[in-house]
Structure 1
Amino acid sequence: MTSITTTNTIDVVSYCRVSSHGQGESGLGLEAQREYITRAAKQNGWNIVDEFVDVVSGKLAIEDRPEGAKALALCKQTKAKLVVAKLDRLSRSVHHIARLLDETMDFKVATMPQADKFQLHLFAALAEQERSFIASRTKEALAALQKRADEGDAQSVEKIARRSAALGKGRTDANRTKASEAVQDRVNSWQESVRDPIDLCIRRGGRTLQQVADCLNSKSITTSRGGQWSSMQVSRVMKNLALHFPAKDAAV
């Protein structure tokens, strides 16, 4: 028999969280959370007595969220256990998770219903560490992207503009366009400032990209980031400025 007897049934309060109003209104992510919780309730003999949904950032502690505070209050009042679909719906902070566990707040996670306090603490710590690694890698990738954009790489400029537009919540299309144009203007202005030095290096005998780079470096003319020139950087800027080596000379 796979049916669950009522003697094993425990009361739980369902808590779901989405990070944006768009997710909340469209149901994106919310229905999946409800499905996780409903399925786990059927499999483990949980009786869902109520449901609360927050549309807030996971950085806020659950007791500081409007619906989260209500869910906790109901759990204390009815002696029910809080249940979330996944651990990060409760909190993205291992500190918050640890505090709830230390305060003997009994909660369940639908995707790992049999996990004990030690396992939940461990999972929270591992998840926070992974987010830290991802943030570090993202920061490094964005720095590299900005460097290429400052050196005149058109695709990098476009990527930065698209990212700025995507992150510009509440900004109008006109403001996003202005921001994109400002980035492009800054790149164009810097490139024009090195047009004459590059042209002079070519006129004085520079016949390869590396020779032009060496010429610029010898004159203490730096890249947009204040660094040394490389042949690749010279190639990008010369292409954008429509500068060329004299005919029959190979730029390698």
Structure 2
Amino acid sequence: MVKKQKYVAYLRVSTKKQGYSGLGLEAQKEIILRHLQDKIPIAEFVEVESGRKTERPKLKEALKECRKTGATLIVAKLDRLARNVSFLSNLLESDTEIVFCDFPQANKMVLHILSAISQYEAELTATRTKQALEAKKLRGFKLGNPEHLMDKHEQAIQNSIRTIKEKADNNPNNKRAVAMLRTLTGKNATYQEMADFLNEQGFTTSRGCSFSKSTVYKLIRRYGL
């Protein structure tokens, strides 16, 4: 008789408000249940903690349960686990199997690369936000006042273009592909070879399609690889 695989679910929200309201938790539960199809996790642990912090008592409890029951830890999204490279690296070296619903094909090498990119982007975003706020103060803007945001039609257009670009940059499929392309471009592979490799490893475009050499070329140009 084949032994049925057991799973322990780990869910994380960043604030107490989200934890009390259930905001974000239901979506994570739905992703996990959809991934498992007819299976139900034997236990569920909910953490209320920032992704950049490494004090995770509920995660420790979840891992302990996995070791005790021989279960696999299942997480809805990679960023629900950690944005800290050393933290995720130590976790991946543990004896517990981990499955990410948004990227089930990922092996340990890929996860290390993605966590490094995620940490870099989180730190870069924080720095840019701080610099932008300081620059606005120096120009005399009153922060939090919406009257400056849409005062010109041209500015509205630029805001729309910037939003579309940020949406593409933050797309998880694009992030994964770019993380791998950073490695592949250093090996002097052709665009077609890169596209074939990404497709073989289960990567998809921002719209969930297979890669072609033209989509690889566009990503390399967009991110300056």
- Give the structure-2-normalised TM-score: 0.59
Q: Deviation at 1:105?
A: 3.3
Q: Percent identity?
A: 41
Partner of 1:26: 21
Task: State which of 94, 100, 115 in structure 2 corresponds to 1:124.
Answer: 115
Q: Please tell me whether residue 81 in structure 1 is matched to residue 72 in structure 2.
A: yes
Structure 1 stretches of 5 or more lacking a match?
A: 1-5, 150-155, 161-252
| 1:1-252 correspondence to structure 2 within 5 Å | 7=2, 9-42=4-37, 47-61=40-54, 64-149=55-140, 156-159=141-144
1:158/1:57 CA distance change after superposition, 3 Å: closer
8 Å CA contact 2:13–2:50 kept in 1: the answer is yes
Shift of 1:58: 2.0
- Once the two structures are superposed, residues 157-180 of structure 1 have per-residue CA deviations (whole angstroms, 9 ceiling, x without a partner) of 2428xxxxxxxxxxxxxxxxxxxx
Partner of 1:115: helix, strand, or coil?
coil
1:188-224 CA-to-partner distances (Å, cap 9, x unmatched) read xxxxxxxxxxxxxxxxxxxxxxxxxxxxxxxxxxxxx
Q: Which whole-Å CA distance do the structure 2 matches of 1:20 and 1:121 have between them?
A: 26
Is the 1:85–1:110 contact (alpha carbons within 8 Å) kept by the matching residues of 2? yes
* TM-score normalised to structure 1 length: 0.53
Moved over 6 A (4+): none
CA radius of gyration, larger in: 1
Paired AA for residue 45 in structure 2? F
Q: 1:29 to 1:76 in 2, by over 3 A?
A: same
Gapped regions of structure 2 (runs ≥ 5): 146-225
8 Å contact 1:12–1:81 — kept in the other structure?
A: yes
CA distance in 2, matches of 1:95, 1:24: 26
